[in-house]
């Protein structure tokens, strides 16, 4: 550890017992000696001790000065002795006192943690340490990086170490003996980086250079080009992020509307209860998590088939109990399904109360996938997009490869001819309505991960569902997919300059104007029933 703490003598600390003694005192100089000895000697518990000190989880016993790791200081809980991992029960909280730190100690500890992690066997751990040091230009950090750089084997980690050294070269006050070529090389190294701290360093160096009485014109030109390059990359990745958000919103619209596309396209039924079928799928997810409280991921996966069955059965009951008596009477069907939606909402309020319910998100759906420092994709939105494509593919296969799908297509294209060929159109209507309702329930499972689950949840998606279906072409699954994704991206592209509310209004105006020119949507359905 030569060079990191050059003025320190380790005579006062030479074993674990002396470390405990020094850290249990109020004298910060003695604590500094103990911490520096630990960093220098690096016993097996070094990382645990240093990270515990930063987190405030290291305590000392007031009677014997022994160090303990304690997450929560509560009577009856267990304290773990550092260096030998023995455990004791906390009988009296006053027997333990937290090891106090000052800013100098915290800085020393962080450098010690960085030294340990930069020499770790794992490339990922060394990379994480290098990223945390980016922007820190203290003498101790630069000394540490200069020592680690020649030994580093991972090119990615080495690139970050080079960035640290280049930032130090660029931002440090140049000496008379400094060669401007070295600073130009530093700019070249930094110009390809997308890290925000690198951009700040380049901007700061540019401001300093421009403030001089006689700035170096070559240096200023290179700095300005580096700034322009970074800002251009930022604009490109901002557009990419907006498109990703648009795809995720579009996937939500597709999931909400694809079930309606089936029932509306085949049966011509304006189902105003479609949003409540989505709501039932979301509540099914909530119930499954209550049944499996300690297995959030499993409960979410199991919710998909269960929600399909629950919403599908409710849909079949609606079709058999009400809608089959109202075919050919669209206004009565609209009023009847609107009444059913109110009944379902009130039933949910009675069973679950009017309050919103929170559905937990499994660990594998939390966090972000970092593509680069400028672009990170949230896992929950990424899974929604994948799930949307999975549901769409499954529906296409059902409609193209199964006897039910063949009969559904026959009835949707020409109901009278299908009945003449022996197709039981009543059975097809019930199964089709059940299929569309089941898909709505599956959409509810996905939406439960994006919003709170409540009795009015379905009302937020019914209008969007009809917009997607009409814009894409009634009864056309591919049209629904294209319409949902394009409307989602169009909406997100408008939001930055129009705002969320005005963006939705503009999308609605666009759809109205589009339908005036193409009443059958993007992909109109073909068949004698449509043409007649």
Tell me the backbone φ, ψ of residue 375, rounded to 5 degrees. -135, 115
120-157 per-position pLDDT tens digit: 888 888 888 888 888 887 888 888 888 888 888 889 99
112-127 per-position pLDDT tens digit: 888 888 888 888 888 8
* CA-angle at 427, arms to 424 and 429, nearest 5°: 105
**Residues 242/493, Cβ–Cβ less than 8 Å:** yes
pLDDT at 6: 45
pLDDT at 294: 85
Residue 123 to residues 120, 154, 158, 414, Cα–Cα distance (Å): 8, 7, 11, 63
pLDDT at 266: 66
Q: Where are the beta strands (DSSP E) in 361-516?
A: 368-372, 375-378
Please, where are the H alpha helices in 154-216?
155-171, 180-191, 196-211
| Bridge partner list, 376 | 370
With cut-offs at 50, 70 and 90, classify the pLDDT of residue 66.
confident
The C-alpha atoms of residue 218 and residue 510 are separated, in whole angstroms, by 51
The C-alpha atoms of residue 467 and residue 462 are separated, in whole angstroms, by 9
309-368 per-position pLDDT tens digit: 999 999 999 999 998 888 778 888 889 999 999 999 999 999 988 888 888 888 888 888
467-522 per-position pLDDT tens digit: 888 888 776 788 889 988 998 888 888 887 787 788 888 888 888 888 777 777 77
With cut-offs at 50, 70 and 90, classify the pLDDT of residue 530.
very low
The C-alpha atoms of residue 249 and residue 488 are separated, in whole angstroms, by 5
pLDDT at position 285 over 90:
yes
Looking up tokens 């690139």 gives: 159
Work out the average pLDDT over 402-431. Answer: 80
Q: Is 268 exposed, middle or buried (0-12, 13-18, 19+ CB in 10 A)?
A: middle
Please count the CA atoms within 13 angstroms of the CA of 179 that sit on its side-chain side: 4
pLDDT at position 308 over 90:
yes
What H or E segment, with its residue span, contains residue 114?
Answer: helix 103-118
Q: How many CB atoms lie within 10 A of CB 2?
A: 8
pLDDT at 34: 85
35-62 per-position pLDDT tens digit: 888 887 766 678 888 888 888 888 988 8
Break the chain into its structural domains and give their ranges: 10-104, 119-215, 245-458
State both tokens at 343. Answer: 């009944």
The C-alpha atoms of residue 368 and residue 380 are separated, in whole angstroms, by 8
Q: Residue 88, by phi and psi: left (phi above 0), alpha (psi -120 to 50) or beta?
A: beta
179-236 per-position pLDDT tens digit: 677 888 888 888 888 888 889 889 888 888 888 777 778 888 988 999 999 999 999 9
pLDDT at position 3 over 50:
no
Share of the chain above pLDDT 90, in %: 19
pTM of the model: 0.77
């Amino acid at each position: 550890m030569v060079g990191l703490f050059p003025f320190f003598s380790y005579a006062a600390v030479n074993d674990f017992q002396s470390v405990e003694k020094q850290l249990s005192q109020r004298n910060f100089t003695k604590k500094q000696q103990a911490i520096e000895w630990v960093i220098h000697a690096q016993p097996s518990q070094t990382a645990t001790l240093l990270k515990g000190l930063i987190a405030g989880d290291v305590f000392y016993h007031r009677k014997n000065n022994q160090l303990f790791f304690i997450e929560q200081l509560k009577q009856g809980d267990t304290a773990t002795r550092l260096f030998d991992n023995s455990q004791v029960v906390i009988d009296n909280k006053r027997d333990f006192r937290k090891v106090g730190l000052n800013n100098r100690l915290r800085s020393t500890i962080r450098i010690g943690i960085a030294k340990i992690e930069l020499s770790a066997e794992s490339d990922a751990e060394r990379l994480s340490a290098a990223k945390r040091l980016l922007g820190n230009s203290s003498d101790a950090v630069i000394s540490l990086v200069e020592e680690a750089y020649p030994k580093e084997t991972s090119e990615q980690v080495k690139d970050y170490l080079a960035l640290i050294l280049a930032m130090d070269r660029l931002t440090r006050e140049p000496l008379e003996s400094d060669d401007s070529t070295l600073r130009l090389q530093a700019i070249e190294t930094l110009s390809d980086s997308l890290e925000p701290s690198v951009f700040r360093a380049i901007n700061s160096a540019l401001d300093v250079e421009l403030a001089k009485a006689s700035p170096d014109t070559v240096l200023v030109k290179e700095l300005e080009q580096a700034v322009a390059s970074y800002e251009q990359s930022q604009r490109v990745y901002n557009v990419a992020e907006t498109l990703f958000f648009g795809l995720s919103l579009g996937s939500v619209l597709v999931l909400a509307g694809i079930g309606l596309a089936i029932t509306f396209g085949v049966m011509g039924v304006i189902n105003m209860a479609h949003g409540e079928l989505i709501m039932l799928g979301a509540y099914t997810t909530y119930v499954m998590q209550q049944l499996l409280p300690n297995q959030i991921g499993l409960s979410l996966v199991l919710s998909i088939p269960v929600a399909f069955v629950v919403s599908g059965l409710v849909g079949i009951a609606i079709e058999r109990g009400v809608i089959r008596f109202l075919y050919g009477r669209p206004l009565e069907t609209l009023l009847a399904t609107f009444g059913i939606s109110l009944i379902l909402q009130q039933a949910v309020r009675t069973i679950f109360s009017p309050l919103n319910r929170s559905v937990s998100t499994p660990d594998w759906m939390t966090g972000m996938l970092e593509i680069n420092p400028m672009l990170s994709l949230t896992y929950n939105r990424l899974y929604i997009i994948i799930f949307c494509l999975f549901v769409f593919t499954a529906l296409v296969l059902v409609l193209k490869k199964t006897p039910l799908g063949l009969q559904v297509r026959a009835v949707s294209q020409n109901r009278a001819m299908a009945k003449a060929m022996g197709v039981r159109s009543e059975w097809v209507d019930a199964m089709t309505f059940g299929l569309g309702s089941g898909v709505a329930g599956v959409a509810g499972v996905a939406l439960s991960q994006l919003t709170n689950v409540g009795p009015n949840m379905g009302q937020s998606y019914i209008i969007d569902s009809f917009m997607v279906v009409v814009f894409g072409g009634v009864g056309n699954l591919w049209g629904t997919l294209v319409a949902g994704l394009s409307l989602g991206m169009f909406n997100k592209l408008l939001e930055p300059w129009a705002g969320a509310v005005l963006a939705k209004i503009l999308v609605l105006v666009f759809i109205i104007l589009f339908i005036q020119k193409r009443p059958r949507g993007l992909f109109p359905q073909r068949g004698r029933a449509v043409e007649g």
